[in-house]
Amino acid sequence: METKEAVTVSTESAFHALGLPDADDLELRAELLRRIAGIIKERELTQTRAGELMNMDQPRVSALLRGKITKFSTDRLLRALSDLGQDVELRISPAGEGKGRLHVAA
């Protein structure tokens, strides 16, 4: 007999849906990782060359490209973007209500 599991649809990130206390930070780091990986792919950089540009060894670049989010701080990912020739701008503005949010804008 086939068992059916309940599925919950959410518009939140997976981190928020799981109720993780640091969901905002994890979501931000995931987006930064995605952007870095996209730049590396777009430029057709090897992991070694990308590491040279970002001041990381090849195993760290491999971890980054495999989405090992807990191995990288937000600060380190922002520096990696800068090392790859990206301008990074932080904008702080009042939240509509309650707690503000962290996000990456294009």
How confident is residue 76, by pLDDT bands cut at 50, 70 and 90?
Answer: very high
- DSSP H or E run through 47: helix 47-54
Residue scoring higher pLDDT (40 or 25): 40
Please determine, for residue 42, whether its predicted confidence score (pLDDT) is greater than 90: yes
DSSP 78: H
- Model's pTM, two decimal places? 0.79
Mean pLDDT of 74-91: 94
Fold of 14-83: 434 Repressor (Amino-terminal Domain) (1.10.260)
